[in-house]
Amino acid sequence: MEKKLLTKYWHDPNHKMLDGYLKNGGYTAIKKALGMEPDAVIEEAKQSKLRGRGGAGFPAGMKWSFIPKKTDKPKYVVCNADESEPGTFKDREIIHKDPHSLIEGIAICAWAVQSHTAFIYIRGEFTEEAKMLERAIQEAYDHGYLGKGICGTAFDLELILHRGAGAYICGEETGMLESLEGKKGQPRNKPPFPATEGLFQCPTVINNVETLAVMPWIVLNGGAEYAKLGTPDSTGTKLVGISGPVKRPGVYEIEMGMPLMTFINELAGGMIEGKTLGAVIPGGSSTPPLTPAQCEQAKISYESLDKLGSALGTAGIIVLPDDFSVIEAMTVIARFYADESCGQCTPCREGTGWLYKTMKRIYAGKGAAQDLQMLSHISAGMKGRTICALADAAAWPMEGFLRTFPEAFQKAVTPKQAR
């Protein structure tokens, strides 16, 4: 059922310590990479067709290849450990069980793009996780996997763990760069893109924790081997999280393309006693919901979920039981994006605010029929017009809920006597 590349040794409690990690073959991938040309490492990443695991799904190898080769500026690698898209909790698992895979993946990326300074930006609330990473980083320094001349080569690599301080928007990559520079985490206009003008105006790669942590496997086994797994558009494996009233919530590594219902019923054990499946949000709270009928057709892959009008996103599955009001669910989602908008762009600041206010009114039973048109209208006006994708991330689920559960919304705005 599970396909364990990244999670192969997670049952081993010593794997999180350097000793255990080395026994399980750790830090052989970085040694191999250091013996290759940096471009050859980028080529392996490209061949793997691995798509970034932070939500946007941009091909990782291609991103690395955008970093200019000839430049006088320093280059930076930033690992995005902000993990704050509601429903997502996979990166936390990686940090708990496999911090050295992440460090090794960062070193591979740094070598590939020839960067000597890397950062892990971890969300501020992850205090225990920051301590775990700090300990692993120290172990890596003490044994020459980080610092001056790593693995006995002439390649230097500093890795700095940087804690955020509570702001969802710092998960957006340019908000993160601003935050790393000691400023408010307000996203930047693009272009320029981080590949040319990122951290401190220097070329910067930003990758999610999972994207980087799987790199050691890709380097050791080859990109082509990775691409053999999964589907043509969704290669490899994926860490999929599942929460809500299922018997075994948690994070599982599966080969891409697994039927969604197989995942829910077999890995997660199905619904808890007395609950029936009502809807599934497949990839974090910004991805539109699926009905039980759609779930039957869905596979866990980028293309299958796109086709059903949703998205793989972060692969944080949220299962809603049929006795939970979809109006309440959408109200919670709308509140989140309204609270987290950084306020720079009018369509986002105003739009997220209106969506929340209107949803709250409908949830309180005070909605009117024209509210539904207004919700669609506001959502449409928020998409593709702002500095970052938070506005889109708020509009997608709104449009998705309206499209998927029209009866529930109609009923919610119908006066009680008339129902």
Ligand X SMILES: Cc1cc2nc3c(=O)[nH]c(=O)nc-3n(C[C@H](O)[C@H](O)[C@H](O)COP(=O)(O)O)c2cc1C
Binding site for ligand X (CB under 6 A): 52-56, 58, 60, 80, 82-85, 169, 171-173, 206-208, 211, 388-390, 393
Using CA atoms, how far residue 25 sits from 8, 132, 212, 216, in Å, is 11, 20, 17, 10
Structure tokens at 288: 């539109």
| Residues 342 and 114: beta-carbon distance below 8 Å | no
Q: Does 249 bind other proteins (CB under 8 A)?
A: yes
Q: What residue is closest to ligand X based on CB?
A: 52
Q: Does 181 bind other proteins (CB under 8 A)?
A: yes
* Closer to ligand SF4 by Cβ: residue 256 or 387: 387
* Closer to other proteins by Cβ: residue 158 or 399: 158
The residue from 312, 345, 359, 412 that contacts ligand SF4 (CB under 6 A) is: 345
Beta carbons within 8 Å of 121's beta carbon, 6+ residues apart: 78, 79, 80, 81, 82, 162, 164, 170, 176, 179, 180
* Closer to ligand SF4 by Cβ: residue 73 or 349: 349
Q: Does 185 bind other proteins (CB under 8 A)?
A: yes
Q: Residue 29 has what DSSP assignment?
A: H
Q: What residue is closest to ligand SF4 based on CB?
A: 348
Residues from 60 through 79 that contact other proteins (CB under 8 A): 74
* Closer to other proteins by Cβ: residue 131 or 385: 131
* Closer to ligand SF4 by Cβ: residue 115 or 341: 341
Pairing of strands 158-163, 250-255: unpaired
Nearest distance from residue 121's CB to ligand X, in Å?
9
Amino acid present at 312: L
First to last CA, the chain: 46
Local structure of 267: helix, strand or coil: helix
| Residues 338 and 353: beta-carbon distance below 8 Å | yes
Q: How many other β-carbons are positioned within 10 Å of the β-carbon of residue 217? A: 21
The residue from 46, 53, 97, 123 that contacts other proteins (CB under 8 A) is: 123
Distance CA 88, CA 326 (A): 20
The residue from 55, 241, 288, 351 that contacts other proteins (CB under 8 A) is: 241
Q: Does 388 bind ligand SF4 (CB under 6 A)?
A: yes
Q: Residue 186 has what DSSP assignment?
A: P
Q: Among candidates 88, 172, 163, which has minimal Cα distance to 345?
A: 172
Query: Which residues sit at the interface with other proteins, rule CB under 8 A?
Result: 74, 83-89, 91-92, 117, 123-128, 158, 160, 162-168, 179-185, 200, 241-245, 249-251, 281, 285, 316, 318-321, 324, 328-329, 332-333, 336, 339-340
Query: Which residues sit at the interface with ligand SF4, rule CB under 6 A?
Result: 169, 187, 341-345, 348-349, 386-388, 390-391
